[in-house]
Homo-oligomer: A and B are copies of this chain.
Amino acid sequence: MTAGPAEDTRTRLLRTALRLFTEHGVEGTSLQMIADALGITKAAVYYHFKTKAEITEAVAEPGIRDLDELVRRAAAQRRRGAQVDLLLEGFVDLVIRHRALVALFSSDPGIARAIEKSAHGGTEDFGRVLLGILSGPDPDTTARVNALVAVTGIAMAGGSPDLAALGDDELRAELLDVGRRLLGRPRRRTPVSAF
Interface flag for A152 (CB, 8 Å): yes
Residue pair A178, B166 in contact (C-beta under 8 Å): no
Q: Mark A168-179, 1 if CB is under 8 A from B, else 0.
A: 001100110110
Chain B residues contacting A153 (CB-CB under 8 Å) are 148-150, 152-153, 156
A interface secondary structure, majority: helix
B residues in contact with A174, CB < 8 Å: 141-142, 145
Residues B178 and A162 in contact, CB atoms below 8 Å apart: no
A160 contacts B by Cβ under 8 Å? yes
A156 near B152 with CB under 8 A, answer yes
Residues of A within 8 A of B (CB): 25, 27, 107-110, 113, 131, 141-142, 144-146, 148-150, 152-154, 156-157, 160, 162-163, 166, 170-171, 174-175, 177-178, 181-182
